[in-house]
């Protein structure tokens, strides 16, 4: 697996994720997570879960795909096994597990056969299955009989997979087995325990603190994997797919690649930051307090059809003007007033409204223009419809920060509606966001 003792961790602006740089693995983290620089395992697990949650949003398809595989000279190699290997191959098992129906995996597990020939000299071994007749005589319909089997067979592949997946979910991501596997957890844990007992040591694992143990475990698993493949005479499509995924997972092909580039992550973290901010706002307010929001950034677990319809209707009524449908990040209605929040992933924001003369980026100029327009459109709507609260509209920029803080724009002339910058603690927001991570095995 990855050698976490040599993994370099650094803060990042746009691209966040894992990359290969001069033959070494570098983990680029979002702003204000410097406390995780000495805990690369925790940092990588947190980021994995954060992007796992983000994958359930409507915004994920266009944001995650461009950075999932080593890029060579700006051209992505995702999905091309000869040129690059994705993060799924080097660390993650989530996609591999989701590709399988647990019942399909269990179909590879071989059970002891049954025979109708009972050795009555050993009847006492089968009395727990006996049916007693009226005269008290026991009747045994069948008994467990011997069957021919190889030292390793297809069911050992299931045990290997359950061990590796369990090690990943519990040892790396810190998930409870029931959270990772659901109804499949009991059988999966039994398969993993049996595999460990027969082939590994009690302390074997891929994500422990001992690099020697992790390396030894990986080599043992690779050896067992190829022995299973050689000694299994009949291989189904499920077997071949599972074997191929485990092979790539254990071989860690990308570490042998001589080219540098991005391995796994997201090209621009702003969309994940907006999703985390929106999930944080939904946790702090009752659903009825949120007037409207850009709900496409919400994880699927937090979005219902009723909420979507209500928020879309409010957005169309207020912010759709002159054939342009604007989408404010968040509008909260509370205590007779309204608060409009715009989520921005900047290291810092200008202390006052920038002038469009090149002194500030064009993007920040547009940000100030947009949030002012949101406030004016909301005030106009409230005046036209005769609703109270027009004088109590406030504007906010939410920026990443180490700790929560607020800063009002007090320069003359005063902002109308009033504007302030709210620094949101990155660690707390992303930790809460990561708690939404759920493994969702395929079902048939």
Average pLDDT over residues 119-129: 70
- 287 pLDDT more than 60: yes
Q: Average pLDDT for residues 18-46, to the nearest whole number?
A: 84
**Residue 332 in this model has a pLDDT that exceeds 90:** yes
Average pLDDT (35-45) is 84
This prediction has a pTM of 0.78
Distance CA(417)–CA(375), nearest Å, equals 6
Q: For 76, list phi and psi in degrees, rounded to 5.
A: -75, 140
Contact criterion met (CB below 8 Å) for 402 and 425: yes
Minimal CA–CA distance to 318: which of 328, 304, 309, 308?
328
Condensed to tens digits (0 to 9), the pLDDT of residues 258-271 reads: 566 777 788 888 88
> At 84, is the pLDDT very low, low, confident or very high (cuts 50, 70, 90)?
very low
- What pLDDT digit, counting tens, does each position of 145-173 carry? 554 444 456 778 888 988 988 888 888 88
Summarize the confidence of residues 138-147 as an average pLDDT.
Answer: 65
What CA–CA distance (Å, rounded) separates 413 from 415?
Answer: 7
- 352-395 residue pLDDT tens: 777 766 655 778 888 888 999 999 999 999 988 888 766 789 99
Structure confidence at residue 355 (pLDDT) = 74
**Cα–Cα distance measured from residue 350 to residue 244, given in angstroms and rounded to the nearest whole number:** 51
| Residue 322, C-beta contacts closer than 8 angstroms, at least 6 positions apart | none
Residue 74: per-residue pLDDT: 40
Out of 46-50, 79-83, 129-133, 406-410, least confident range: 79-83
Please, which pLDDT band fits residue 191 given cuts at 50, 70 and 90? confident
Each residue of 295-322: pLDDT tens digit?
A: 999 998 898 999 999 999 999 999 988 8
What pLDDT is attached to residue 360? 56
Average predicted confidence (pLDDT) for the chain: 79
CA distance linking residue 54 with residue 249, whole number of Å: 23
405 to each of 130, 401, 402, 424, how far by Cα in Å?
Answer: 73, 8, 9, 7
Task: Give the span between the Cα atoms of 271 and 83, in whole angstroms.
Answer: 28
- DSSP assigned state of 68: B
Q: What is the predicted pLDDT for the residue at 345?
A: 92
| Residue-wise pLDDT tens digits, 229-258 | 888 877 777 788 888 888 878 876 444 455
pLDDT at 213 over 50: yes
For range 57-83, the mean pLDDT: 50
Q: Could you tell me what percent of the chain has a pLDDT over 70?
A: 76
Distance CA 41, CA 68 (A): 20
């Amino acid at each position: 697996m990855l050698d976490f003792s040599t993994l370099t961790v650094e803060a990042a602006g746009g691209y966040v994720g894992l990359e290969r740089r001069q033959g070494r693995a570098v983990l680029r983290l979002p702003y204000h997570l410097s406390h995780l620089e000495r805990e690369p395992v925790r940092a990588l697990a947190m980021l994995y879960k954060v992007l796992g949650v983000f994958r359930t949003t409507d915004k994920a398809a266009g944001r995650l795909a461009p950075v999932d595989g080593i890029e060579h000279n700006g051209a992505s190699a995702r999905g091309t096994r000869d040129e690059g290997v994705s993060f799924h191959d080097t660390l993650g098992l989530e996609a591999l597990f989701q590709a399988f129906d647990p019942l399909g995996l269990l179909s590879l597990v071989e059970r002891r056969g049954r025979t109708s020939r009972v050795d009555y000299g050993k009847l006492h071994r089968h009395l727990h299955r006996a049916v007693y007749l009226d005269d008290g005589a026991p009747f045994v319909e069948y008994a467990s009989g011997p069957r021919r089997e190889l030292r390793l067979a297809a069911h050992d592949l299931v045990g290997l997979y359950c061990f590796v997946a369990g090690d990943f979910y519990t040892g790396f991501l810190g998930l409870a087995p029931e959270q990772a596997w659901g109804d499949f957890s009991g059988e999966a844990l039994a398969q993993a325990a049996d595999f460990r007992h027969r082939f590994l040591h009690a302390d074997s694992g891929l994500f422990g603190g001992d690099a020697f143990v992790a390396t030894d475990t990986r080599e043992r698993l690779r050896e067992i994997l190829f022995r299973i493949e050689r000694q299994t005479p009949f291989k189904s499509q499920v077997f071949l797919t599972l074997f191929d995924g485990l092979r790539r997972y254990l071989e860690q092909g990308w570490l042998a690649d001589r080219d540098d580039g991005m391995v796994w992550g997201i090209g621009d973290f702003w969309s994940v930051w907006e999703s985390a901010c929106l999930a944080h706002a939904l946790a702090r307010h009752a659903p009825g307090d949120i007037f409207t929001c850009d709900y496409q950034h919400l994880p699927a677990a937090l979005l219902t059809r009723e909420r979507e319809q209500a928020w879309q209707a409010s957005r169309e009524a207020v912010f759709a003007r002159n054939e342009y449908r604007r989408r404010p990040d968040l509008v909260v209605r509370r205590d007779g007033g309204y608060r409009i929040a715009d989520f921005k992933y900047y290291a810092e924001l200008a202390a006052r409204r920038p002038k469009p003369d090149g002194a500030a980026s064009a993007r920040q100029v547009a940000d100030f223009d947009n949030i002012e327009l949101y406030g004016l459109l909301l005030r106009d709507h409230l005046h036209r419809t005769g609703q109270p609260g027009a004088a109590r509209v406030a504007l906010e920029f939410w920026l990443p920060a180490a700790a929560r803080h607020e800063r009002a724009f007090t320069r003359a002339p005063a902002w109308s509606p009033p504007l302030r910058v709210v620094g949101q603690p990155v660690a707390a927001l992303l930790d809460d966001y990561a708690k939404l991570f759920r493994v969702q095995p395929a079902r048939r």
